[in-house]
Structure 1
Amino acid sequence: MNMSPIDLREKAHWVWRETLAVHRRAPETRLASSLSSIEIFVALYYGGVLRFDPTQPLAEHRDRCVISKGHGSICMYPILADLGYFPLDELKRVCQTGSFLGGIPDPVIPGYETVNGSLGHGVGVATGMALGLKCKGSDRSVFVVSGDGELHEGANWEAIMFASQHKLDNLHLIIDDNRISMLGYTDDIVSHGSLSARLSAFGWDCLEVDGHDVAAVQAALLKMKKNRAGKPKALIARTLKGHGVPGLENAPLSHIMNPKPELIDSLLEQNP
């Protein structure tokens, strides 16, 4: 699937609305983290970047997409339903008894590769997948979506060094750089400085992009995927946590905040 920029923007808006609606019904989901990553996932799944098959979620010929920031991927629920991984009606049952769509996703959901409840491990898992595919001579790619707060975890940097050492140019790290972690701004906790400079120093090729410009994200990902020059690649997507929700957007404690139900109702009414 390879949508035009206009169609990608329309799809991103639909996913934004559906993510709000899911949170309205299941307030235990993490909304702010999921709103910052919408355009990333829309570009991956509708922009001709990933090779996937909803009828065979674990088919050998698929590209791998590891969603390390699992709590921040509730926006993936409408995407996977829309693509046919499971029925759209399941979106009405998120976090209800008997539903496989929980507040933190796991591989019981078709389309998810890994367990994502404990942060900071997705980059390492994706690195192992990339190495395995290389050893098998596969041309398939591995993408991993991480939050910037996750990069405070040291295991990520071990994987980043390993990927460079082994020239894993089939590995693509996408950082949702919203600059807010659970309890405040990342710069006030452990500043990353320039993520691009840090990753480049570790031997990675890096691009930076406005993470809410879905066409720019798509173009950057397609460019990265074509590049097989012996280096792993990273895209730093500059985003806003809680994107589009007044009082939530870019608030230092947005990670643990829930907007009032009447605000969500108003936003859905004002943004058809």
Structure 2
Amino acid sequence: MASFDARALRKTVLDMAFAGSTVHIGCAFSIIELLAVLYRSHLRYPGNDPQATDRDYLVLSKGHGVMAQYACMRELGWLKDEAFSGYFADGSDLKGLSDSRIPGLEVTSGSLGHGFSVGLGMAMGAKLRGTDQKTYALVGDGEINEGPIWEGALFAAHHELKNFIVIVDENGFQAMGRTQDVLRLGAIQSKFESFGFEARTIDGHDEAAIDHAIEQLWASSSTAPKALIAKTVKGKGVPFMEHNNIWHYTRLNQETYAQALAAVAGSAS
């Protein structure tokens, strides 16, 4: 059974990023624990089949964090080792954004704000079919600058989509700077609550807290959709990447790759 160890997942991300000379490391690292808990304890894939008709849905709306999801899919055996060593090489199937042509990735995302609404459509479909499928949409905090997020939130509350959880990766940054400087978000939990969601705020790197909060939200008798606000650190696990937004678009060289691997190996998370 896959363990989804956070250090191993971060190492896989580093290996991919170095092999492919690609970016978006920091925003993958902030969601590692969130994805580890979801795949380990909550997402249902009958027969370990990413295309099972009665599976739960995970929509990575912040599609640029996809290396973290690829790392989890490797743990499940859905992706083979050669896909990682050949990441971004000619002919590679794996892209730098979530691509629905890869089994296990539910949507093609990267145009921020869209994946949230697609996830709501999946949740609505499950409700209409009368299934017990659950839908999770993982969004960035900068992403919720987008108007479609709040239009979708109104839709979710109106239709009482209690089978839906949005998880906000609140790492405090977006591509061009701090969210506080680009467009102040205020109290995100209060905002979702004002739109009719049942909401919780947790430490997004505390796996026990993540697990407990998700269990609490699903155990609620409320018909409201759910929101989990995860306070995270962009670049978590590598000190020189933490809270350093240059790692949104900076590529690893041999030296920084070795330093990052050493930091992850020694990390307690």
**Shorter-chain TM-score tier:** over 0.9
Q: Is the alpha carbon distance of 1:29 and 1:52 closer, same or farther for their aligned partners in structure 2, counting shifts above 3 Å?
A: farther
Name the aligned partner's letter for residue 240 of structure 2.
G
- Written as runs of structure 1 = structure 2, the 5 A alignment for 1:132-147 is 132-147=125-140
Match of 1:93 in 2: 86
Distance 1:103 1:92 in 2: 14
Name the aligned partner's letter for residue 185 of structure 2.
H
From 126, 149, 156, the counterpart of 1:156: 149
Structure 1 stretch displaced more, 243-252 or 139-148: 243-252
Offset at residue 227 of structure 1 (A):
2.6
Q: SS of the counterpart of 2:105?
A: coil
Does 1:19 find its partner at 2:9?
no
Name the aligned partner's letter for residue 25 of structure 1.
A
TM-score of the two chains, using structure 1 as the length reference: 0.92
Q: Is the alpha carbon distance of 1:172 and 1:270 closer, same or farther for their aligned partners in structure 2, counting shifts above 3 Å?
A: closer
Q: Is the alpha carbon distance of 1:88 and 1:162 closer, same or farther for their aligned partners in structure 2, counting shifts above 3 Å?
A: same
Match of 1:261 in 2: 254
Offset at residue 271 of structure 1 (A):
4.2
Any idea what the Cα deviations from partners look like across 1:67-91, whole Å, max 9, x if unmatched?
A: 1011112111121011011223311
Does 1:186 find its partner at 2:163?
no
Match of 2:208 in 1: 215
How many residue pairs are counted as aligned between the two chains? Answer: 265
Match of 1:50 in 2: 43
Any idea what the Cα deviations from partners look like across 1:172-219, whole Å, max 9, x if unmatched?
A: 000110010010000111111000011101110001110111221122
Q: SS of the counterpart of 1:207?
A: strand
CA contact (8 A) 2:169 2:204 kept: yes
CA contact (8 A) 1:164 1:203 kept: yes
Any idea what the Cα deviations from partners look like across 1:79-108, whole Å, max 9, x if unmatched?
A: 101101122331111111111111223012
- Written as runs of structure 1 = structure 2, the 5 A alignment for 1:23-102 is 23-46=17-40, 48-53=41-46, 55-102=48-95
Distance 1:84 1:51 in 2: 15
Identity across the alignment (%): 34
From 117, 122, 125, the counterpart of 1:124: 117
Any idea what the Cα deviations from partners look like across 1:140-170, whole Å, max 9, x if unmatched?
A: 1100000011100101100001100111000
CA contact (8 A) 2:48 2:76 kept: no
The CA RMSD measured in Å over matched residues stands at 1.7
CA contact (8 A) 1:29 1:74 kept: no
Does 1:250 find its partner at 2:243?
yes
TM-score of the two chains, using structure 2 as the length reference: 0.93
CA contact (8 A) 1:41 1:76 kept: yes
Match of 1:175 in 2: 168
Name the aligned partner's letter for residue 190 of structure 1.
L
Offset at residue 270 of structure 1 (A):
5.1
Q: Is the alpha carbon distance of 1:109 and 1:192 closer, same or farther for their aligned partners in structure 2, counting shifts above 3 Å?
A: same
Segments of 5+ residues of structure 2 without an aligned counterpart are: none
